[in-house]
């Protein structure tokens, strides 16, 4: 088990949940029935919170004592990093029983994040066919149809009847649960999708009618289809899911609308957290040291960048001392330019996520942003220049501040539009690095422009 896993699961006693004493008593008495009875009335989020209020060893015992299907529900509820950490601490046989109760896509997510040794130990305890299925799903990239699909397919043969499908739909047992929310897909002898049947067709056709007569050609996606294309497909078609095929055209799973919506939301949340310098799934139930280290990794770098920006000011101390009014406008120039740059970053990040731009489009993106930056910079520069002129009664002060803001806005939007593409080109995460780079450069450029222009016009300012 990794050191990071221990850190993720560590919990301070002060965070203990209200049911913790009763849960501990049930654990000490080895009373699985009482333990399940305490958690069963709670919602999944409440139950997970109660479990997280326990120490590590007690958590392990809870998951081992609960029925596998109940433990699996808690694992499903947990964020991915926490789910992996919880499973990784369990005995391989216990973990295998719990993994077996998860949906196939969640199985692949958890197994794919485990250390190779732990993953193989768990897979060795599972049914051979199920283990092979999990290995296959875990091999696909996360943000592709293969990585987001579930392997269970609600499929029938062409000679099956409408009545057979309706009978399967009416079943109320655990065997049907993995297929809930799927259309009935028709496959041939080689398991290649050849049709799909709508619910309306099933309800209006006679039960004895063969599916071949009521099916329509299906729309399929390849296992390598990226998330952005999948989202566009679901926006275009009001379908519950799409069958996923491999390189031979054989259906290997179904990607659902819910899975795509969740993946898009998770990516948006991840990008938002990264933009704030939070990397990974941070929860306040994690230990103080781990949370502090993760945040400091970003904040420490930011200190260095801000020191560089501050050094520009120190180089113009005499100018500041002679024209103290300039100090009032320094943060305004850098902040307003930073806002313009952040707008450019947001547009580029969105277009990257939609697949509308690539790193090779950097020059075109720069030209588009420079055009906007030139217009907005002139307008903002004139406005703030007039304010400086009216306030101090010095037209040259207005010229210095206005021109600095106009030029810095042009620089900021150029950087904000292009830097995410450059970072993407060299394999870095643009969501994490674009913000600090933009802030530092716009601060340095803004300070330099204001102070150097003020130095040039010093005779007219004093």
- Tell me the C-alpha to C-alpha distance, in Å, between residue 92 and each of 41, 95, 122, 123, 125: 28, 5, 5, 8, 7
Output the CA torsion sign for 210, 213, 217, 218: negative
Q: How far apart are CA 135 and CA 123, in angstroms?
A: 8
Q: Over the stretch 33-89, which tens digit does the pLDDT of each residue have?
A: 999 999 999 988 889 888 888 888 898 899 999 999 999 999 988 887 788 888 988
Tokens at residue 202, please?
């099933």
Q: How far apart are CA 94 and CA 92, in angstroms?
A: 6
Residue 383: what pLDDT?
Answer: 94
- Strand partners for 242: 255
Q: Got the DSSP string for 8-19? A: HH---GGG--TT
Tokens at residue 280, please?
């990974």
Spatial neighbors of 220 by CB under 8 A, at least 6 apart, are 193, 242, 243, 244, 245, 251
Q: Over the stretch 243-275, which tens digit does the pLDDT of each residue have?
A: 999 999 999 989 989 889 888 887 776 666 666
Residue 10: what pLDDT?
Answer: 47
Output the CA torsion sign for 44, 50, 53, 54: negative
* DSSP H or E run through 378: helix 362-392
Q: Got the DSSP string for 393-433? A: S-HHHHHHHHHHHHHHHHHHHHHHHHHHHHHHHTT--HHHH
Q: What is the DSSP letter of 80?
A: H
Domains in the chain (CATH in brackets) are 3-139 (1.25.60.10), 155-270 (3.10.580.10), 288-461 (1.10.357.20)
Residue 116: what pLDDT?
Answer: 86
Which strand ranges, in their side-by-side order, compose the sheet holding 155-157? Answer: 155-157, 185-187, 193-196
Average of pLDDT values for 419-440? Answer: 77
Q: What is the DSSP letter of 308?
A: H
Average of pLDDT values for 334-354? Answer: 84
Residue 5: what pLDDT?
Answer: 47
Q: Looking at the predicted structure, is the pLDDT value of residue 14 above 60? A: no
Residue 76: what pLDDT?
Answer: 87
Residue 17: what pLDDT?
Answer: 47
Strands 241-245 and 221-222: parallel
Q: Got the DSSP string for 266-303? A: HHHHHHHHHHTT--S---TTS-HHHHHHHHHHHHHHHH
% pLDDT > 90, the chain? 30
Spatial neighbors of 318 by CB under 8 A, at least 6 apart, are none
The answer, as to whether pTM is greater than 0.85, is: no
Q: How far apart are CA 344 and CA 147, in angstroms?
A: 31
What is the chain's length? Answer: 462
Q: Over the stretch 152-186, which tens digit does the pLDDT of each residue have?
A: 888 899 889 999 888 887 775 566 666 666 788 99
Mean pLDDT (the chain, rounded):
83
Residue 13: what pLDDT?
Answer: 39
Q: Over the stretch 373-427, which tens digit does the pLDDT of each residue have?
A: 999 999 999 999 999 999 889 999 999 999 999 999 999 999 988 988 988 888 7
Residue bearing the bigger pLDDT, 305 or 70: 70
- Strand partners for 187: 157, 193
CA dihedral 16, 21, 22, 23 (to 10 degrees): 50
Q: Looking at the predicted structure, is the pLDDT value of residue 11 above 70? A: no
Strands 241-245 and 193-196: unpaired
* Max CA pair span of the chain: 97
Residue 442: what pLDDT?
Answer: 87
Q: How far apart are CA 335 and CA 340, in angstroms?
A: 9
């Amino acid at each position: 088990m990794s050191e990071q896993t221990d850190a993720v699961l560590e919990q301070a006693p002060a965070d203990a949940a209200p049911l913790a004493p009763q849960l501990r008593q049930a654990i000490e008495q080895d009373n699985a029935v009482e333990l399940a009875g305490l958690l069963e009335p709670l919602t999944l989020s409440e139950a997970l919170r109660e479990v997280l209020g326990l120490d590590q060893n007690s958590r392990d015992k809870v998951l081992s004592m609960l029925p596998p299907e109940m433990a699996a529900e808690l694992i499903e509820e947990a964020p991915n990093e926490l789910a992996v950490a919880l499973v990784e601490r369990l005995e391989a046989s216990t973990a295998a029983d719990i993994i077996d109760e998860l949906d196939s896509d969640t199985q692949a997510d958890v197994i794919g994040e485990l250390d190779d040794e732990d993953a193989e130990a768990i897979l060795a305890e599972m049914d051979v066919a199920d283990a092979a299925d999990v290995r296959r799903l875990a091999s696909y990239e996360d943000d592709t149809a293969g990585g987001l699909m579930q392997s269970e397919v609600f499929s029938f043969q062409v000679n099956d009847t409408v009545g057979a499908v309706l009978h399967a739909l009416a079943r109320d047992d655990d065997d049907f649960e993995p297929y809930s929310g799927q259309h009935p897909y028709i496959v041939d002898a080689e398991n290649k999708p050849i049709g799909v049947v709508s619910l309306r067709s099933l309800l209006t056709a006679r039960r004895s009618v063969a599916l071949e007569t009521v099916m329509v050609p299906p729309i399929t996606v390849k296992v390598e289809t990226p998330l952005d294309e999948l989202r566009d497909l679901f926006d275009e078609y009001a379908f519950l899911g799409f069958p996923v095929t491999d390189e031979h055209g054989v259906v290997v799973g179904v990607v659902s609308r819910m899975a795509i919506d969740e993946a898009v939301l998770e990516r948006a949340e991840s990008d938002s957290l990264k933009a704030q310098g939070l990397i990974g799934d941070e929860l306040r139930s994690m230990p103080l040291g781990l949370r502090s280290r993760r945040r400091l990794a970003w904040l420490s770098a930011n200190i260095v960048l801000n020191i560089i920006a501050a050094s520009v000011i120190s180089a113009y101390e005499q100018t500041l001392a002679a024209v103290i009014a300039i100090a009032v406008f320094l943060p305004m120039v850098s902040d307003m330019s930073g806002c313009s740059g952040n707008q450019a970053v947001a547009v580029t990040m969105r277009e990257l996520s939609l697949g509308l731009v690539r790193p090779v489009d950097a020059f075109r993106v720069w030209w588009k942003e420079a055009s906007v930056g030139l217009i907005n910079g002139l307008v903002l520069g004139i406005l703030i220049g007039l304010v400086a002129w009216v306030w101090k009664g010095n037209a040259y002060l207005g010229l210095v501040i206005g021109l600095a803001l106009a030029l810095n806005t042009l620089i900021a939007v150029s950087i904000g539009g292009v830097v995410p593409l450059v970072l993407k080109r060299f394999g870095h995460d643009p969501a994490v690095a674009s913000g600090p780079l933009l802030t530092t450069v716009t601060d340095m450029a803004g300070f330099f422009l204001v102070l150097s222009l003020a130095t040039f016009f010093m005779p007219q300012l004093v």
